[in-house]
Chain A
Amino acid sequence: MIVYTLLVVSLIVFAITQILPADAAVMMLGENATPEALDALRQTMGLDQPIWQQYATWLWHVVQGDLGTSLRTGQPVGPAMFEALGRSLILAFFSIGLMLILAIPLGIIAAIRRGKIADMVVSLISYAGVALPEFVTATIAVLLFADWMKWLPPTGYVPLTEDFFGGIAHLVLPVCVISIILIAHVSRMVRSELVDVLHTDYIRAARLKGLSRGHVLRHHALRNALLPTITIVALDVGYLLGGVIVVEEIFAIPGIGRQLIVAIQARDLPAIQAGVLIMAATYSIVNFIADILYAWLDKRIQYD
């Protein structure tokens, strides 16, 4: 399953980078290189072979863990990308954490107070959350909290291992900006799942049995309503990774999103291929784990 996904992704990525109007040999030697030198380099890089053969060679190297050499820096792409991925994962980890802490309680409150003021406030928050793209909220946040109030540093990245509190201070704005849209989406999903569950017969049966509202909510309803959240959060990781690209660009965080933007702008084909592949792999692995977790928590589900 996951292998097929990555195979398709690798094909798409390779196809796109092949159609890109960029000649790797010209990029490495410059515009003034002699035709002989270009031909020689193409031969050593294997660019004169048929496309499917180039794909097979590239794929074989990727499987062995060699993602190629950057045309821009001349360094191996793999280590640089994985180092950048680590920084992005810190960002993503805190964003998902903040989202779960806020979105699940908000969704639960909205569902149990359905139609009341609390429900309306939560849905207002969720509509506001999906109203603006990340680069706009990020810009406004920097203007408000960094420029005017001077509470937080505007941009930049400090490794947590070097200066923990400085690192956290630099992460606050990016994490909040990424979480907004996720909070809006997940709280809405939690609300609608819980509303559905609260209308089922077994909940009514539990209430008629004389169990208290709180007990039914905690032991019967939440368990069933929160399970689908795992899948939703896993699917939202795709959105999260897209948001990471924009947010890293604005806050100057040297993560994988920034690397990808630089690679795309410079038409650095091996770096683009590696970056997209790593992102797609991250998404697939997260969803794979979510499926397993779901089946483990809900014994009724059996995967082949």
Chain B
Amino acid sequence: MTEFFKRLLKTPQGAIGTFLVVLVLAIVVFGPMVAPYDPEKLSPLARYKGPSMMYWLGTDQYGRDIFSRLLIGARATVVMAVLATIAGTLIGALIGTASAFLGGRADELIMRTIDAVMSIPSLLFALLVVNLLGSSTINALVAVAIAFAPGMARITRSVALSVRKQDYVNAAIARGESSSYIIRREMLPNVIAPIIVEMTIRVSFAVMLFATLSFLGLGAQPPAAEWGLMVSEARRYMHMSAGILIWPSVAIAIVAVGFNLLGDGLRDALNPRT
């Protein structure tokens, strides 16, 4: 394990990515404790303030402290994205592994159907699902998870197909193990490494998808401090103070770049050939 971390931190992507993701996770855990102000407290006299000793990143259109809002909104933004990605990955991994294990006609049918589902853009798919369930944070989570599942299924299948040919799977079949046992106990553990890489990179897409759903009014609802919602609310007031727009954008970018870099770093560290 320590050897693995050494490999991960040796590449610039891995090192910077780990640093950014750890920073973001620290904000998720400790952010609400260290936030200097109440994120929803309105101060009509302190609107559109620039950065100062009192308000580190300035205040927004209602005089709320932007820094506090970012610290507290990290949970709504990042935790949701991570949960949605994990859920989507689990569904996709199960379908993909099952498809690769079953093979033949069933595999063909499942993959063709997944191709068909993927022809609907994932943003549009998420929009439809949220609209179906009603706009709320939890429904947005379900929508993003469902939108991610087909892509993950496709990737898992291609990895699982190579695992399927391994001798230990044939041995399990020869032992007379059930299909579900072989999929869960023999195949899934061996397809996990590439899936973790893909999952890490997809967290950044999930953050963006959530932000976009909030922007279209279908995700988090005001006055939540979700970062995507903060940007979309700031659009009307950006002429008064660019800071309300810039700081949440920077926060989203840090999360997206961090998870992207970490994913690339993990890929190099997990790949024994490089």
Assembled-state Cα–Cα distance A16/B147 (Å) = 14
A34 to B237, CA, bound (A): 46
A265: min CB distance to chain B, Å: 8
Do residues A4 and B211 form an inter-chain contact, with CB atoms below 8 A?
A: no
- List of B residues within 8 angstroms of A283 by Cβ: 119-121
Residues of chain B with a CB closer than 8 A to A6's CB? 116
A180 CB, nearest partner CB in chain B, Å: 12
B140 at the interface (CB under 8 A from A): no
CB–CB A133/B238 < 8 A:
no
Residues in A with CB closer than 8 Å to B232 are 135
CB distance from A111 to the nearest CB of B (A): 16
Is B40 among interface residues, defined by CB-CB distance under 8 A? no
The answer to whether B212 and A264 have CB atoms under 8 Å apart is no
Q: Mark B249-270, 1 if CB is under 8 A from A, else 0.
A: 1001100110011000000000
Q: Could you tell me which residues of chain B, from 221 to 274, have a CB within 8 Å of some CB in chain A?
A: 228, 231-232, 234-235, 238-239, 242, 245-246, 249, 252-253, 256-257, 260-261
What class of interface size applies to chain A in its complex with B? 35 or more
Q: Are B261 and A276 in contact (CB under 8 A)?
A: no
A193 interface contact, C-beta 8 A = no
Which residue on B lies nearest to A6, using beta carbons?
B116
> With A16-B128, A19-B132, A245-B121 as given contacts, are A4 and B253 in contact (CB-CB < 8 Å)?
no
The smallest C-beta distance from B147 to any residue of chain A, in angstroms, reads: 10
Q: B122 to A242, Cβ gap below 8 A?
A: yes
Q: Which residues of B contact A131 (CB under 8 A)?
A: 204, 252-253, 256-257, 260
User: Which residues of chain A in 196-221 are interfacial with respect to chain B, using CB atoms and an 8 Å cutoff?
Assistant: none
Q: State whether the Cβ of A9 lies closer than 8 Å to any Cβ in chain B.
A: yes
- Does A140 contact B124, Cβ atoms closer than 8 Å? no
Measured CB to CB, the closest approach of chain A to B60, in angstroms, equals 15
Interface string of A1-15 (1 = CB under 8 A from B): 100111111001000
Is B152 interfacial (CB-CB < 8 Å)? no
**Is B113's beta carbon under 8 Å from chain A?**
yes
User: Which among B117, B238, B260 is the interface contact of A139 at CB below 8 angstroms?
Assistant: B238
- Tell me, in angstroms, the Cα distance from A134 to B249 when the chains sit together: 11
Q: Which of B2-27 contact A (CB under 8 A)?
A: none
B87 CB–A CB distance under 8 Å: no
In the bound complex, residues from chain A placing their C-beta under 8 Å from that of B246 are: 140
**Residue among A16, A243, A287 with the highest chain B CB neighbour number at 10 A:** A16
Interface centre among A4, A242, A279 (most CB of B within 10 A): A242
Chain B residues contacting A190 (CB-CB under 8 Å) are none
Q: Is the CB of A147 within 8 A of B253?
A: no
- Chain A nearest CB, measured from B14 CB (Å): 13
Q: Tell whether, in the assembled complex, residue B212 and residue A246 are in contact, meaning their CB atoms are under 8 Å apart.
A: yes
Across the interface, do A246 and B123 meet the contact criterion of CB distance under 8 Å? yes
Q: Which residue of A8, A16, A134, A239 contacts B116 across the interface (Cβ within 8 Å)?
A: A8
B188: CB under 8 A from chain A?
no
A258 to B253 Cα, complex, angstroms: 26
Q: B192 near A: Cβ within 8 Å?
A: no
Complex CA–CA separation, A147 to B245 (angstroms): 14
> Is B118 in contact with chain A by the CB < 8 A criterion?
yes
A45 within 8 A of B: no
Residues of B within 8 A of A284 (CB): 119
Residue of A nearest to B235 (CB): A139
A287 and chain B: residue at smallest CB distance: B119
The answer to whether B116 and A130 touch across the interface, beta carbons within 8 angstroms, is no
A135-B211 contact given A130-B260, A264-B127, CB 8 Å threshold? yes
> What is the CA–CA distance of A133 and B205 in the complex, to the nearest angstrom?
9
Chain A residues with CB under 8 Å of B260's CB are: 127, 130-131
A246 to B214 CA separation, bound complex (whole angstroms): 12
Name the contact of B253 in the complex, choosing from A132, A143, A246, A249 (C-beta under 8 A).
A132
Cα A134 to Cα B215 with chains together (Å): 11
Contact at A136–B252, with CB atoms within 8 Å? Answer: yes
The 8 closest A-B pairs by CB, nearest first: A8-B116, A242-B123, A242-B121, A133-B208, A131-B253, A5-B116, A280-B119, A283-B119
Name 5 A/B residue pairs within 8 A (Cβ), A-sorted: A130-B204, A135-B215, A238-B119, A242-B123, A276-B120
Give 15 new A-B contacts, CB below 8 A, not counting A16-B132, A260-B124, A279-B121. Answer: A20-B131, A131-B204, A131-B260, A132-B253, A132-B256, A133-B208, A135-B215, A136-B252, A143-B238, A143-B245, A147-B239, A246-B216, A276-B128, A279-B124, A287-B119
